[in-house]
Structure 1
Amino acid sequence: MMQNGLSVDVEDWFHVGAFERTIDRADWPHLECRVEANCEAVLEIFAEAGVTGTFFTLGWVAERYPALVRRIVAAGHELASHGYDHKRVFAMSADEFAADLKKTRAILEDVGGTAVSGYRAPSFSIDARTPWAHPILADEGYAYSSSVAPVVHDHYGWPQSPRHAWRPVAGSDLVEWPVTTARALGRTLAAGGGGFMRLLPYGFTRWAIARMNAEGHPAILYFHPWEIDPGQPRVANAPIKSRIRHYSGLSVMAGKLRKLCADFEWTRADALVPAQRDRAAPWRAAA
């Protein structure tokens, strides 16, 4: 059975893009933090299944919960960067992005005691608006990014980009490994986990992974620790669409995750990147 990449975007319930216009960043330190307990629950599920994965972690979280980061590393999982405070890449300048990468990696490596070679942009926010992002990642020495969603979506997406791993920078070994999608009826469907896994029947996720594997490629899925936490606070004044997306399916996500761990083979993203690099083709967006 083909090995696939299982990843966790380590952020708390109030960090999410759905609430970025409702919750002031200045209020974050005063809100109830649940990320540590939720990550511990994820680590337990992974341990029970004998699964290792990649934890794309906010620097903001690592600063406040260093013991959690060390437990992630001690359990054999990959520690990777999710940026410092969930600011989207297209909301930064190139210089700000480079500074964010440096700051976050320094925090993660200092706390975790291990090298960080992978990056995922908050809300998959590397797209056609950020032609400078991949070259900066290459300059900073990252081995791979998993920051692109090759779909049409109102929250993110770069639909023209490849569905499989590709090389975004000429002369560099950097690989972009986009979140998993599936093709059906001439359309590219988002299928990489997170809200899609919560909101849709588990059979769809299983089908999408099997389809990706049948194409000869490993899938890479993601979810957030808050997605297995039905007891998290409710943001009553958030837009109705955001509330539906964020709170639906929380009570069933842990069960789906256990099924996922049992039905497929999983490993850390960095374990699969070398083979991805060997077959990844160069691609650049049309000017």
Structure 2
Amino acid sequence: MSPIANAFSIDVEDWFQVSAFAPYIDRAHWHSLPCRVERNVDLLLGMLAEQEASATFFTLGWIAERYPMLVRRIVDAGHELASHGYEHHRASDQTPAEFRADLVKARDILEQTGGCPVIGYRAPSFSIGAGNLWAHDVLLETGHRYSSSVYPVVHDHYGMPDAPRFPWRTGDGLLEIPVTTVRWGGRNWPIGGGGYFRLLPYNVSAWGLRRVNAVDQRPAIVYFHPWEFDPEQPRVDSANAKTRFRHYLNLHRTEPRIRRLLREFRWQRVDQAFSDELEKACAS
């Protein structure tokens, strides 16, 4: 096991809130759909407790409003509470004013519910990129100290492949912490969780994380969603084949893979794993 502690993060949203399902599921109907987030997050909390690992939960304000005791369980277990926005609107689809309002609403709900400061944010679908870097300024102005929203990869829905692979400071001092990639063949390859973790064999992800720890001498940051290890979730049959493939692939394999990941690496909250970088950003 590497002596470097990596950052484990969860984007707390339910199956019907995934951006790829937005064309098929009306937001106005969210309240009437069967929620599974509480069951899935509690399972995650149990897995983390078994390995005495801590994590950061980037949580939707919409979820916190409806499941305040779930938020309290996250905080009481020693994990970091961070923001995923209020209603899973992509930052790239919002104006600066809309983005600001979403940030403020979500942060207020999370802080009141969790009883703790919220300094971190992750944009839904990693939707901060070259076209809306102004979002970093708004994040800093609304009291956030770090973001994990720019993914330095090539992807059809997000990505800024020329962005730094490791934490970097924006012009005004916000710390951006990108999800981990491996540099290979002149290109960044995603090995930080999510759909790639389900698509590729486990050993590919483990090799990439060990390479970052050993060769780059850096902590890695990975991310998952509660719905990713819930094979019994409702199916959205109206979604196109590509969307269904990406969403439902290997759901039955994710829980045992995450358990193995938790055993084989050291894990901390994002604010702990990157505490030195945060202190420098806040001091400037």
TM bin, normalised by shorter chain, reads: over 0.9
Do 1:165 and 1:277's aligned partners in 2 also have CA atoms closer than 8 Å?
no
Q: State the Cα RMSD in Å.
A: 1.2
* Structure 1 counterpart of 2:107, one-letter code: R
* Structure 1 counterpart of 2:43, one-letter code: A
Q: Deviations over 1:221-257 (max 9, x none)?
A: 0000001100000000101001001001100100000
Q: Counterpart of 1:188? A: 188
Q: Counterpart of 1:283? A: none
Compared CA separation, residues 119 and 158, structure 1 to 2 (3 A) = same
* Structure 2: gaps spanning 5 or more residues: none
Matching of residues 13-92 of structure 1 within 5 Å: 13-92=15-94
Secondary structure, aligned partner of 2:17 = coil
Matched, 1:247 2:245: no
Do 2:271 and 2:278's aligned partners in 1 also have CA atoms closer than 8 Å?
no
Secondary structure, aligned partner of 1:102 = helix
Q: Counterpart of 2:229? A: 228
Q: Counterpart of 1:114? A: 116
Matched, 1:131 2:119: no
Alpha-carbon distance, 1:40 to partner: 0.6
- What TM-score do the two structures reach when normalised by structure 2? 0.96
CA distance in 2, matches of 1:279, 1:143: 11
Q: Counterpart of 1:94? A: 96
Alpha-carbon distance, 1:207 to partner: 1.0
* Structure 1: gaps spanning 5 or more residues: 281-287
Alpha-carbon distance, 1:141 to partner: 2.2
Q: Counterpart of 2:164? A: 162
CA distance in 2, matches of 1:150, 1:175: 15
Secondary structure, aligned partner of 2:16 = coil
Q: Deviations over 1:176-207 (max 9, x none)?
A: 00011111122111111011111110001101
* Structure 2 counterpart of 1:125, one-letter code: S
CA distance in 1, matches of 2:152, 2:5: 22
Equivalent residue pairs, number: 278
CA distance in 2, matches of 1:188, 1:169: 24
Compared CA separation, residues 279 and 162, structure 1 to 2 (3 A) = farther
CA distance in 2, matches of 1:161, 1:141: 24
Secondary structure, aligned partner of 2:262 = helix
Q: Deviations over 1:107-135 (max 9, x none)?
A: 00111111101000000000011121001
Percentage of matched positions with identical amino acids: 55
Secondary structure, aligned partner of 1:209 = helix
Alpha-carbon distance, 1:277 to partner: 4.1
Secondary structure, aligned partner of 1:8 = strand
CA distance in 1, matches of 2:161, 2:227: 27
CA distance in 1, matches of 2:280, 2:116: 27
Do 1:84 and 1:100's aligned partners in 2 also have CA atoms closer than 8 Å?
yes
Q: Counterpart of 1:204? A: 204
Secondary structure, aligned partner of 1:204 = helix
Secondary structure, aligned partner of 1:14 = helix
CA distance in 1, matches of 2:10, 2:133: 26
Do 1:138 and 1:169's aligned partners in 2 also have CA atoms closer than 8 Å?
no
CA distance in 2, matches of 1:90, 1:267: 29
- What TM-score do the two structures reach when normalised by structure 1? 0.95
Q: Deviations over 1:113-172 (max 9, x none)?
A: 1110100000000001112100111112212100110010012101111111000124x2
